[in-house]
A and B are shown apart, each in its own frame.
Chain A
Amino acid sequence: MAIENYIRKRFFPHIWCPGCGHGTVLNALLRALEQLGLSKNEIVMVSGIGCSARISGYVDVHTLHTLHGRALAFATGVKLSRPELTILVPMGDGDALAIGGNHFLHAARRNIDITAIILNNRIYGMTGGQFSPLSGCGIQATTAPYSTIDHAFDVVELSRAAGASFVARTTTFHVRELEKMLVQAIRHRGFSVVEVLSQCPTHFGRRNKEGSAVDMLKKLQSKTVPLNSRKLELDPSLVPRGVFVDQDKPEYCELYDDMVARSRVEVEEQGQPVGADARKEV
């Protein structure tokens, strides 16, 4: 299927600012879907609120545009109900790790088969340039006129610790790599996280004197290096890209099916499941 068949053409041009990285992520995602050859009816995209969440409106799959931070919780309901569906959840900084942080941790802990794509532009774009939990220290934002004093999460380390079984990071500069990682992440059975360092020239770039979108992309190129590379060894201050976790680990819906099978055995052997004895019959 040609990639334009995956989009809802009537909603273009999109709402993102000129130079925004989100369109690049959408593009890579569409190419990944095309490569995977998934039928549109098998895909559910769930998103929250923010610039990143608007991706769902443009993709011609089942789309659920939900509440700020809650996309993974809605997605968990969809997935557990219909495990055969492919669930994609694009999220921004706030969606994933501020208001939605707890849902993120628990979705990762369950290792439920959902692909979480974190579009990390280190700023709240839609509300006008406030800092995010991924901004880090020393950043100018509309709610940090004296620059931020908040430390940033490391998405990769956080995801790993929380139990995600696939964790990768790349940038909007490395589009081929991004496409490849998305294919891997969607194929992976379990909770997959792809962190995409993205640029917001309108709010982050302008306030932090990072120049144009092209300048910001160049910075994403120069400040990131492949994982396990010689360059990273020589300069550990650079940000590593690559697949950090790719683990074979029991997936939540599969474990659920196992539990159902076990409960049936229990019913057969004991006549009723454990716990049902609380019911007293007259």
Chain B
Amino acid sequence: MSERTLFVHGNQACVEGALYAGVSFYAGYPITPSSEIAEEMSVRLPANGGRFIQMEDEISSMCAIIGASLTGRKVMTATSGPGFSLMQEALGYAIMAEIPCVIVNVMRGGPSTGLPTQGSQGDVNQARWGTHGDHAIIALTASTHQALFEATVRAFNLAETYRSPVIVLYDELLAHMRERLTLPEPGDLPLVERLRTFVPGGVDYRPYLARSDGRLPMSDFGGVHRYNVTGLYHDMWGFPSTDPVTVNDLLHHLHDKIVVRTGELESHREYALEDADTVLISYGTPARSAMQVARKGRDSGHRVGVLELETLWPFPGQLVRDVCEKARIVIVVEMNMGQIRDQVRAAVRAPERVFLANRVDGEFIKPKDIGTVIRLVDGHGV
């Protein structure tokens, strides 16, 4: 057991998760507070037959992992706010061309250069809508190193399953905090491998024709099937098309393959929600403080519960609605100006009962900060 329990920072936990999932290609550009991911990948990947490349910027990093994914590898890049902004164009390409890939965004304070060395959760909406055009996206998050490890493994699994980019979002606090991480044995967590076509060479292979279960078997570049990949609207062979039916079908497919599976993609943790009249909704490191507030509240007889979201996109609106049904007040705890608060308000029956407990000064949200908001909302003053 001792051999497999590490005392590491969050970025290391993310790398361990990616390696467990089978990542074999990493392209990236250094940026605080994600650089340790690139550093660790540069040590580990060459040693295990993988490929690591430091690119000239985040734009090319995103492009390089897409190229490598097409040759059959599990691929990943990691960055932070400014770099994530630069990746948006190619992220859209990966969505359109349905390329499995994982993008880690260690969130620091923004906008612009912002607070490079301090935590934030300001990129939640950017993860959803950062790239242009209608689309759907999967974004996962975590509040502990163990959960981050698992979220990273899951990100690779979902990327392969849905042929989609998957974003792992976590804050700088988690990235640089050190805590225990227990590595699961191989086989303990399920892994999804690349689904490859069994159509033999010489037989018409259609890379964008979904099977009955919705999955699209791939063929590696360099293999027996020569097809086209484009960011234009395309037909089932991957060739550009402006045919209204083809265009309409493709956009619906890209949207529906994720949005109609919101329930399957949803993942959360909860604490004492059954009879809670005060529901704290949180994610990332703020969820740790929310948990403490709820525990202490319960100890002193208050009916406080926590819903910790681990899937941010597609947003689990139905879950949030159900959880908040009987709540007297709902407090969203996050390190931004209310990006998930807005989603919660849109989801629940009584949006006027939804409040925000936030910090946007780069500091960790302490239990006291949440307690203050609860007292204010309850009319007890500060």
A282 to B180, CA, bound (A): 8
Of A61-69, A117-125, A141-149, A152-160, the one contacting chain B is A61-69
**Residue contact B231 to A267, C-beta cutoff 8 Å:** no
**Residue contact A82 to B46, C-beta cutoff 8 Å:** no
Contact flags (1/0) for B43-65 with A, using CB distance below 8 Å?
A: 11011010101011101110111
Q: Residue A64 contacts which of B43, B46, B221 (CB distance < 8 angstroms)?
A: B221
A179 to B16, CA, bound (A): 49
Query: A109: nearest residue on chain B (CB-CB)?
Result: B56
A62 to B221, CA, bound (A): 6
Of B6-14, B113-121, B303-311, the one contacting chain A is B6-14
Residues 212 to 271 of chain B near chain A (Cβ within 8 Å)? 221-224, 226-232, 239-240
Which residues of B are found within 8 Å of A72, using beta-carbon distances?
A: 60
A82 to B75, CA, bound (A): 14
A80 within 8 A of B: yes
A72 to B221, CA, bound (A): 16
**Residue contact A73 to B63, C-beta cutoff 8 Å:** yes
How many residue pairs at the A-B interface have CB separations less than 8 Å? Answer: 154
The CB with the most chain B CB atoms within 10 A, among A41, A77, A103, A260, is that of A77
Q: For this complex, into which size category does the number of interface residues on chain B fall? A: 35 or more
B125 within 8 A of A: no
**Residue contact A76 to B2, C-beta cutoff 8 Å:** no
Contact flags (1/0) for A113-153 with B, using CB distance below 8 Å?
A: 00000000000000000000000000000000000000000
**Residue contact A64 to B222, C-beta cutoff 8 Å:** no
**Interface residues on chain A, number (Cβ under 8 Å):** 49
Q: Residue A73 contacts which of B60, B228, B239 (CB distance < 8 angstroms)?
A: B60
**Residue contact B53 to A102, C-beta cutoff 8 Å:** no
Which residues of A are found within 8 Å of B51, using beta-carbon distances?
A: 80-81, 256
The CB with the most chain B CB atoms within 10 A, among A72, A75, A103, A282, is that of A282
Whether A81 contacts B25 in the complex (CB less than 8 A), given A41-B223, A70-B60, A282-B7, comes out as yes
A209 within 8 A of B: no
Main secondary structure of the interface of A (DSSP, over half): helix
A282 to B181, CA, bound (A): 9
Of B66-74, B141-149, B288-296, B336-344, the one contacting chain A is B66-74
**Residue contact A103 to B3, C-beta cutoff 8 Å:** no
Which residues of A are found within 8 Å of B47, using beta-carbon distances?
A: 260, 263-264, 267, 273
A56 within 8 A of B: yes
Given contacts A11-B239, A67-B89, A78-B221, 17 further A-B pairs with CB under 8 A are: A41-B226, A56-B228, A57-B228, A62-B221, A65-B228, A66-B93, A70-B63, A73-B67, A76-B60, A77-B64, A77-B67, A79-B67, A81-B71, A84-B222, A256-B46, A260-B46, A280-B6
| Chain A residues engaging chain B, CB cutoff 8 angstroms | 11, 40-42, 44, 46, 56-57, 60-67, 70, 72-82, 84-85, 102-103, 105-106, 256, 259-260, 263-264, 267, 273-276, 278-282
